[in-house]
Amino acid sequence: MSEDLPVNIDRDCGPEGCEIEWLASPRVEVDADPVAFARFATDSGWGDGLPLVPPTEERVREHVRASGRFPDEVLGVLPPRNGRASVEKLAVNAVMAGAPAESMPLLCAATEAVNDPEFNLFALNTTTSCVVPGLFVNGPAREALSIPYAAGCFGGEAGPAAAVGRALRLVMRNVAGQKVGVSSKSVFGQPGRVTGIVVGEWEERSPWAPLAERRGVSGNAVTVHGCTGTLDVADTVATRGVDLLTVIGRSLAYIGTNAFIEFQPDAEILLALPPPWVDLIHADFPRLEDVQAQLYEFAAMPTETWPEAHRAQHREHGRVSADGRVHLVASPEKLLIFVCGGLGNLHALALHSFGPTRAITRPF
C-alpha cells in the first residue's frame, strides 16, 4: 500500500517475548467511519469493492503481536510488482479484510507458501486464467480459527474463513500489485479473487492421514493450491467405491481443462470428497495410493476426442499412452485428496489448476 521505508524498530525482548515499540508504515489521517474509510480506500486503489475495516495503529499492532513475528520481517517478495510482503503490511491488509488477529500465523504461512518458486505466483497473478490460491488447512487450528470443514465449507457457513481469504487477496492487490486489466490478464476472474478459498479438512472423518501430514507436515499446516474454481461431481446411483471412482475420474477429465493445454507436467487436481463417499471408497480401496491410481486410470480421454490439431500436439509432447489415451495428470500422486463437506452424500468437488504450478504446504 506504500513504498517501503527504512525500519529501525526498538525491540524490548524479555522471557515472555518481544514488545514492538512502533510500526514503520506512514500514517494517513482518515475518517474513522467505516463507510467513509471504504470510499477513501477504494478511491486510493486499496479496496476490493467490499466494506473495509480502518487499519488503526492499535488494530495493526494487535495483529502483528498475534503473528509472533516482528513487523519488519519480510515473508516474501511478491510478483508482479515484487512488493515486499512484511508482517506489518500483511497485518494492515488483514485488518482491512476483517480477519481476526488469531489468523495471522496462518496468513504468514500462506504468504510464505505462495512465495515459493514452485508455486509460480507470477504466473498465477498475471495469467489469463481465473486461478486463485486456495488455502487448505489441517491441524487443531481448524477449530481454534473456526475454519469450516463440514456442510457448506466452501461457502455459506458464517465465520472468519472468507475474511482470512480476503486478507490474502488484498495482499495480492496492494503488495503484489495484481491489478485487473493491467498486470492481471484474467479474462473473467472469479469470486475467489475477492474472498479467496479457505477450507479445513475433516480429519476425524478421514481413514487416511491428513493432506498436510502426507506432504510431510504434521499439526497446524496450510496447503496452498492454485484453483481455477470448483467443479461439482454428482452421482445418485453408485453404491460401491469402484463405481464412484469411475464417475469421479471420468468427470475430472474434460476436454477444455488447463491440464490438457500443451504439456503441463506439474498440473495437479485437488479433489474434495465428503465423508459418506469416502466410507464407500475406503471399503473397496483402503490405501489412498490405490484410490489415486484408480482415479488416474479413469481420468483420461481417447485422442479422437480432440480435433486433429490438438491430437498432433498431444503426440508431439508424448502425452498419448500405448492404448491411445491422454491422461489428465502426469502421475497418480498429482491427484490431491482432501476430505471435507457435509453428510448429504451425492457430491464431490474438484478444484482444477491452470497447469504450471505446484501445491505448497507450510506449518504455522
In the 3-class helix/strand/coil scheme, how is 290-358 assigned residue by residue? Answer: HHHHHHHHHCEEEHHHCCHHHHHHHHHCCCECCCCEEECCCCHHHEEEEECCCCCCCEEEEEECCCCCC
Determine the Cα–Cα distance for residues 112 and 133; give it in Å rounded to an integer: 12
Determine the Cα–Cα distance for residues 121 and 137; give it in Å rounded to an integer: 20
Amino acid, res. 194: V
What pLDDT score does 7 carry?
37
What pLDDT score does 16 carry?
53
| 97: its cell numbers | 479484510
What pLDDT score does 115 carry?
98
Closest CA relative to residue 78, chosen from 204, 212, 172, 189: 172
| 15: its cell numbers | 522471557
Determine the Cα–Cα distance for residues 311 and 35; give it in Å rounded to an integer: 55
**Average pLDDT for runs of 10 along the chain of length 364:** 37 48 74 84 91 93 98 97 97 97 98 98 96 98 98 94 98 96 95 97 98 98 97 96 97 95 87 98 98 98 95 93 95 98 94 95 98
What pLDDT score does 35 carry?
87
What pLDDT score does 296 carry?
98
What residue ranges in the chain does DSSP mark as E strands? 11-14, 17-20, 74-78, 83-86, 132-138, 197-200, 221-227, 231-234, 269-273, 300-302, 325-327, 335-339, 347-352, 360-363
What pLDDT score does 78 carry?
98
Question: Is residue 130 a contact partner of residue 193, using CB atoms and an 8 Å limit?
Answer: yes
Determine the Cα–Cα distance for residues 199 and 192; give it in Å rounded to an integer: 12
Q: What is the largest CA-CA distance in the chain?
A: 70
What pLDDT score does 22 carry?
61
161-174 vs 104-114: helix crossing angle, rounded to 10: 50
What pLDDT score does 132 carry?
97
